[in-house]
Amino acid sequence: MNNMNGFLPVTKDDMTARGWEQADFVYVSGDAYVDHPAFGAAIITRVLENAGFKVAFLAQPDWRSNKDFERFGRPRLGFLVSSGNIDSMVAHYTAAKKKRSSDYYSPGGKFGLRPDRAVIVYCNKIREIYGDIPIVIGGLEASLRRFAHYDYWDDKIRRSILLDAQADLLSFGMGERSMVEIAQRLDAGENISDIRDIRGTCYSVDVRETPYYGTECPSFDNVCNSKKEYAVSCRIQQDEQDFFRGRAVRQRHGSRMLVQNQPAIPLSQEELDEVYSLPYMRTYHPMYEAEGGVPGIEEVRFSIAHNRGCFGGCNFCSLAFHQGRYITTRSKESIVNEAKILTSLPDFKGYIHDIGGPTANFRRPSCDGQEKRGLCKGKKCLAPTICPNLKSNHEEYLDILRTVRALPKVKKVFIRSGIRYDYMLADKNDAFFRELVAHHVSGQLKVAPEHCSAAVLDKMGKPHIEAYLEFSKRYFKYSKKEGKEQYLVPYLMSSHPGSTMKDAVELALFLKKIGIRPEQVQDFYPTPGTVSTCMFYTGLDPYTMTEVYVAKDPHEKAMQRALLQYFNPKNADLVREALKRAGRHDLIGYGDKCLVAPKKPQPSFGRERNDSRNARQGKYEKNARSNRRR
């Protein structure tokens, strides 16, 4: 299994060794080449290979010259371009817009092997070299930037990435089905400019060729000139992402009309099983060995993805806009077969790190109605309260976990991807909860209450804090029954739209009350394609059009963040300033309810010197008087 010939060609010599004179497609990625199903590039290239196409892999090409892009020569059918597993700007910059020191998806974690806005840069270089060759873009960066979007790093509205990249088609969401159809139609001799009807794709045309079907959202010019129009645009785009009832969406960009076709129909369970049965090498290419490999493989190498989609629909998460809210799952047999493959790997130590997905404990649609009408428009299944139609059931997931943990060579199966504890609480059968605590926690379980303020949680699209408190109570109760000392590690977010300084103080008091001192907190990061980013930019909730408070000043954001770690001496000055700004002087002091001690008066070195000099002078005069008396 682990022989170099199992990887797709990465050099001209690799192509020659396979007997190829020309590749059908060259897949260009901003990530290093890792052939593992946790990497979207690996899935798409293997699916195309399985469909009979010759695919060469060009990982992290040097965009400053033509050499790497000419490595394989001109592909027969076209180039496929992705920034990699995440947006290249997120890969390069922190929420404070500071450059990161490493790149998780590059060999040795080295920074700087991909450009900012990788999709645009790569495509423009390909267009420069190869002229009118077909270019299809996909992956997270392309998917989330398919419409006019607010760009946090430029602090302005940018056009659809399809136009800036000069690409022909954009495949959004999970692209297996659309990419195979594009490849087959190009192979049949169809011109890429005529391929306009594939679900899960975007294209652009002259406005005079605008199709009449679907709906239209405010134009690029309108969303640039009006934040209200931008909020309207965001809502329309979010509401049409359900594959069952979603319509095509149009958006004018000057003389061009961007058209998003209906979202792709999710893969069936049989199709999803086939995708995960393809011959992945499950590691990085050997060419990276000398540099220490690729860090991004470590967390997922012994993990299994069992589902796609998430009906949780948190406003700060881009999943609903990318994968969609509808749940699709692999069969038990497929999951168990992958677990057996993991146990056969030479460096398997007996631990499967995760059987999860976007949300680990979702194995079915949230209600029966989704099969008849799709997911509800403008509503959430779990927030602010659980929909009465929701059906929470963990029986199938629990059966899979039991089977995998009973396999020979398996010592432990952990669950590390997100768990919706509110969904767990809705299940009247607590068997999964008990077995989660007994068998699937590695000493601490990470969960995501995010905040405690109801007003902030409503803007996040999260359940209120009472759900977390109930979950926490039962978690520790079950852990105690198992004789285990286990902990909860909460994910928390500062400065999310809607969070005022008073809300941040409320969260700090909550953390002190329940005895949690978080080691890490996340400042809200306005990434493309989310409702929360729309709120951040516009100051409006796109679903109510009411104003939303947004902390944008870096100093205020630093204060909100510091409050979550009020106990850290380094944060003392920021915490005191934040409390004063919130009118909570009562929390500065030494009492049990206080968050920070008063600032100690700074000694004046000038006064100290004068006091010392006066003391010496006084002592001299006293001695002189004493000598005179003698």
| pLDDT tens column, 430-467 | 999 999 999 999 899 999 999 999 999 999 999 999 99
The structural domains of the chain, with segments of one domain joined by +, span: 4-203, 302-442, 445-599
310 contacts 320 by C-beta, under 8 angstroms = yes
pLDDT tens, residue by residue, 238-274:
999 999 999 999 999 999 999 999 999 999 999 999 9
Residue type, 466: E
Average pLDDT over residues 30-55: 98
SS3 200: coil
Q: Is the per-residue pLDDT at 629 higher than 60?
A: no
SS (H, E, C) 483-550: CCCCEEEEEEEECCCCCCHHHHHHHHHHHHHHCCCCCCCEECCCCCCCHHHHHHHHCECCCCCCECCC
* 199 and 262 Cβ atoms separated by less than 8 Å: yes
What is the torsion angle, in degrees rounded to the nearest 10, for the CA atoms of residue 458, residue 461, residue 462 and residue 466?
30
Predicted pLDDT of residue 371: 86
Residue 363 has pLDDT above 60, yes or no: yes
Distance between CA atoms of 191 and 124, rounded to whole angstroms?
20
Task: Write the CATH number of the domain with boundaries 445-599.
Answer: 3.30.750.200
Query: Is 135 within 8 Å of 79 (Cβ atoms)?
Result: yes
Q: 131: left (phi > 0), else alpha (psi -120 to 50), else beta?
A: left
Domain 302-442 has CATH 3.10.20.90: no
Q: Residue 517 class from Cβ within 10 Å (0-12 exposed, 13-18 middle, 19+ buried)?
A: exposed
DSSP three-state, residue 73: coil
Domains 302-442 and 445-599 share a fold: yes
> How many angstroms separate the Cα of 425 from the Cα of each of 86, 183, 306, 341?
32, 45, 21, 34
Given a contact cutoff of 8 angstroms between Cβ atoms, the answer to whether 204 and 253 are in contact is yes
Determine the pLDDT at residue 605. Answer: 56
Assign 621 a pLDDT band (cuts: 50, 70, 90): very low
DSSP β-ladder status, 215-216 and 249-253: parallel
Task: Look at residue 520 in the predicted model and tell me its pLDDT.
Answer: 83
What is the tens place of the pLDDT at every residue in 603-620?
Answer: 665 545 555 545 444 544
Q: Which one, of 140, 223, 219, lies nearest residue 542 by Cα?
A: 223
253 vs 326: CA distance, rounded Å: 30
Write the CA distances from 345 to 2, 35, 77, 386, 402, integer angstroms: 9, 15, 36, 42, 21
Asked if pLDDT for residue 3 goes beyond 50, the answer is: no
Q: Is the peptide bond before 384 cis (omega within 30 degrees of 0)?
A: yes
Kindly report whether the global pTM for this prediction surpasses the value 0.75: yes
**232 CB-side CA count, 13 A:** 15
**Structure confidence by residue, pLDDT tens digits, 276-305:** 999 999 999 999 999 999 999 998 999 999
Does residue 348 carry a pLDDT above 60? yes
- Report the b/e string of 450-470 with b at 16+ CB within 10 A: bbbbebbbbbbbbbbbebbee
Percent of the chain residues topping a pLDDT of 90: 92
Q: Which of 226-230, 408-412, 622-626 has the lowest mean pLDDT?
A: 622-626
Fold classification of 4-203 (topology level)? Rossmann fold (3.40.50)
Is the CB of residue 463 less than 8 Å from the CB of residue 382?
Answer: yes
- State the pLDDT at residue 600: 84
pLDDT at 624 over 90: no
